[in-house]
Amino acid sequence: MKKSAIVLAFFIVNVLLFTACGETKTEEAEKENPKKVEAEIKEDEIVEDEVDKKPVIYLYPEEEMAVSVRLDYAGDLTCTYPKYHDGWKVTAYPDGRLVNHEDGLEYSYLFWEGVSDVEYDMSRGFVVKGKDTEAFLREKLAYMGLTPKEYNEFIVYWLPQMEKNKYNLISFQSDVYTNNAVLRIEPKPDSVLRVFMAYKALDEKIEIEKQELKPFDREGFTVIEWGGTEL
């Protein structure tokens, strides 16, 4: 099954990204032919691919540094920010600021989205009540090594989509994700953390093997990524 992956700005930048990556014109079409649009929507609900959303890449060198980032992705890129032309070339600063060499503009992180046929592993994970999702994500993301700034940006994006569900089946992906979207970074970072959450809304609680998570230590030039998908 095809899936879309969105790799990882916050508040205003989120809106800009949504616009830049292609808003639909459903409202305009509805005015012209509402019955046709309704039929198309119902058909899309049957055949539409699942969507992976918002992984973002942060770079934290120990000193100002020119960095090249390439993404070997087993799929098709559909949107990038800044624009990805066979890779990104940036000047990275210890506080996480990035200056893109192509346009000279400053960015908070690198963002991409794409479509692939990856199948995520949901055999282990956590079943969490929708109303408990905020606390769960804060605890687990902090344990895995995200800073408050990073995990708050993650939560702000995902919470509105998850807290309304009765339950969420949540599994943090590892090799399935990283093998499907390989990062090649020069100079080579000293430590890399890639947090990618797959989740599915549930109407009732199910039993599942609990996933074991590992803490992460930042050493030297550090790369952090977070993202996710709704199945």
pLDDT tens, per residue, the chain with 231 residues: 444 444 443 444 454 454 456 544 444 444 455 444 343 434 444 334 545 567 899 999 999 999 999 999 998 888 999 999 989 999 999 999 999 999 999 999 999 988 888 999 999 999 999 999 999 999 999 999 999 999 999 999 999 999 999 999 999 999 999 999 999 999 999 999 999 999 999 999 999 999 999 999 999 999 999 999 999
Question: How far is Cα 82 from Cα 74, in angstroms, rounded to an integer?
Answer: 20
Domain boundaries, the chain: 3-230
Number of separate helices (H) and strands (E) present in the chain: 6, 14
Q: Is the sign of the CA dihedral 73, 3, 115, 159 positive or negative?
A: negative
Tokens 């916050």 label which residue? 10
Q: Which residues contact 226 (CB under 8 A, 6 or more apart)?
A: 8, 54, 55, 56, 141, 146, 150, 151, 153, 154, 194, 195, 196, 197
pTM of the model: 0.80
Contacts 24+ apart (CB under 8 A), 174-178: 176/118, 176/119, 176/120, 176/121, 177/118, 177/120
Coil, helix or strand at residue 152:
helix
Strand order in the sheet with 98-100: 106-107, 98-100, 88-92, 65-73, 181-186
Q: Which residue type does 66 have?
A: A
Question: How far is Cα 118 from Cα 116, in angstroms, rounded to an integer?
Answer: 6
Question: How far is Cα 65 from Cα 67, in angstroms, rounded to an integer?
Answer: 6
- Crossing angle, helix 148-162 and helix 133-144, to 10 degrees? 150
Q: What are phi and psi of 187, to 5 degrees?
A: -60, 155
